[in-house]
Chain A
Amino acid sequence: MTMEINISELKRAHLFELAGRVDSTNASELGETLNRVVENGRTNLVLDLYGVEYMSSAGLREMVRVLKRVKKSGGDLRIANPSERVKEVLELAGLDTIFNIYPTQVEAVGSF
Chain B
Amino acid sequence: MGEVSRLVVSARLENVRQACDFIVEAAEAAALDERAVYHCQMAVDEALTNVIEHGYTYQSNGSPIEITAEMNAGVFVITIIDEGPAFNPLEHEAPDPAAPLDTREPGGWGIYFIRKLMDDVQYTRTANRNFLTLTKHVPRSDVSGAPVEETDALFPVRQLDSGAVIVSPSGRLDSNTSPMLENTLTMQLEQGHTWLFVDMIDVEYIASSGLKVLVSIWRRAQERDGNVILSGLQPRIVEIFEMVGFDMLLDIFPDIDSALAAQAKKT
Q: How far is the CB of B256 from chain A (nearest CB, A)?
A: 27
Collect the chain A residues with CB atoms within 8 Å of residue B14's CB.
25
Collect the chain B residues with CB atoms within 8 Å of residue A54's CB.
20, 38, 41-42
Residue of B nearest to A25 (CB): B13
B116 touches A (CB below 8 Å): yes
Collect the chain B residues with CB atoms within 8 Å of residue A67's CB.
101
Q: Interface stretch among A10-18, A40-48, A55-63? A: A55-63
Interface pair B101/A56, CB less than 8 Å apart: no
Q: How far is the CB of B151 from chain A (nearest CB, A)?
A: 33
Q: How far is the CB of B221 from chain A (nearest CB, A)?
A: 27
B179 touches A (CB below 8 Å): no
Collect the chain B residues with CB atoms within 8 Å of residue A84's CB.
35
Interface pair A57/B113, CB less than 8 Å apart: yes
- Secondary structure call for the B interface: helix
Interface pair B13/A68, CB less than 8 Å apart: no
Q: Which of A24, A65, A85, A95 contacts B45 (CB 8 A)?
A: A24
Collect the chain B residues with CB atoms within 8 Å of residue A85's CB.
35, 38
Interface pair B97/A53, CB less than 8 Å apart: no
Interface pair A57/B239, CB less than 8 Å apart: no
Complex CA gap A93/B98 in Å reads 8
Q: Interface stretch among B65-73, B104-112, B192-200? A: B104-112
8 A-B contact pairs sorted by A residue (CB < 8 Å): A23-B16, A23-B17, A24-B49, A56-B46, A56-B113, A64-B104, A64-B106, A93-B109
Query: Could you tell me which B residues sit within 8 Å of A by CB distance?
Result: 13-14, 16-17, 20, 35, 38, 41-42, 45-46, 49, 53, 96-102, 104, 106-107, 109-110, 112-113, 116-117, 239, 243
